[in-house]
Amino acid sequence: MLAAVQIEATAEIVDACGARVVVTLLKGISLSDRDYPAPYLRPMRDIDLLVPEGAVREVQQTLLGLGYREHPEERVESYGHHAVPLVHPRTGIWVEVHHRLFPPDLGLPGVDPFRPDRVNARIRPSTFTGRLVNRLTDDLQVVYTASHWALSPSRIYNGGGVVAMLDLIHLLKRRGFLWDDVMALVEGSVASAHLYLLLGYLHRSGLVDVPPGTIEHLARMQPCLNSVGCRLLHGILDQYVVDGREYRGLARTVDITWRALLGPGPPMRNLARVPWAILDWARVRMYEHLVGVGRRTIRRRGTASRVA
């Protein structure tokens, strides 16, 4: 039922935008009807649309005209890559209107495969419930899925990590998939590490088939992970994403490890950063605790003095 409401809402938005702005479907709403056996098998939190930067205000106004409103807790004017999310008070459907795939200040080292000009060159006409829309090319969709997953560690904690795995499994079932295009897209980019991590995990688990030598090629190409770092992150995926174990106070440690190993430095430096980053975090927590204890002690003594 939820999927049906999301599909109906997307069709209504596409109709309202008309020929003035042809939206590009992103993430779940793009994959659900094209790559999954049935749309409702792909859970979605919101509907993500990509439009030219100059059309963002117009599409936002169109959504407001359809009854969407800003949520009281969402007061930021811009997130760097999408406008403030809007929610429909009756259906509860959230919509994010993007003009970039990632924030411009993300600072991906090396070649940025998500630069607007490179993305625009990989947008193709398509249809959605018989309506004209755009979608990302298969090569960009695969790389975007891997990088969005790897650069959002919080998704590893809330179950989204499994959804990205399923996305990639279904994407790679498409006929005529061109691996040379994928490799060219991630050449010289940290996105190659994201793809190596996710694709390597699925291939190791026997869930995807790739041409011989693909994983090895990505291993040589990517700049972040050595075999030890890769095993550490695959272990996190095994325990906390696939097996679903509770973190029991280790969530912050896992987050630090994830971010450090996928950082911009060479593999050995990234691996060495992990214990130091955890120690720095522990020192900050201890300092905050001591400051809190000190403030509470001062307040208690002040209260006792006034009473006396």
Q: Please, are residues 277 and 256 in contact by the beta-carbon 8 Å criterion?
A: yes
Query: What is the rounded distance in angstroms from the CA atom of residue 10 to the CA atom of residue 16?
Result: 10
Residue 18 sits at the vertex; the CA angle it makes with 14 and 23, to the nearest 5 degrees, is 50
Q: Are strands 94-98 and 47-50 parallel, antiparallel or unpaired?
A: parallel
Q: What pLDDT shows up at residue 216?
A: 95
HEC readout, 41-77: HCCCCCEEEECCHHHHHHHHHHHHHCCCEECCCCCCC
What confidence score (pLDDT) does residue 74 get? 62
CA separation for the pair 27, 29 (Å, rounded) = 6
Asked whether 42 and 49 are in contact (CB, 8 A), the reply is no
pLDDT above 70 covers a percentage of the chain that reads 84
Read off the pLDDT of residues 61-83 as tens digits, 9 standing for 90 and up: 999 999 999 877 665 555 678 88
229 falls in which pLDDT band (50, 70, 90)? very high
pLDDT tens by residue, 261-306: 998 888 999 888 888 778 876 676 665 656 665 666 666 666 655 5
Question: What is the model's pLDDT at position 175?
Answer: 73
Please state, in angstroms and rounded to a whole number, the distance separating the CA atoms of residues 137 and 174.
12
Gap between the Cα atoms of 239 and 91, Å rounded: 36
Whole-model pTM?
A: 0.87
**Residue 110 CB neighbour total at 10 angstroms:** 14
- Sorted by where each starts, the structural domains of the chain and their CATH numbers stand as 1-135 (3.30.460.40), 137-271 (no CATH)
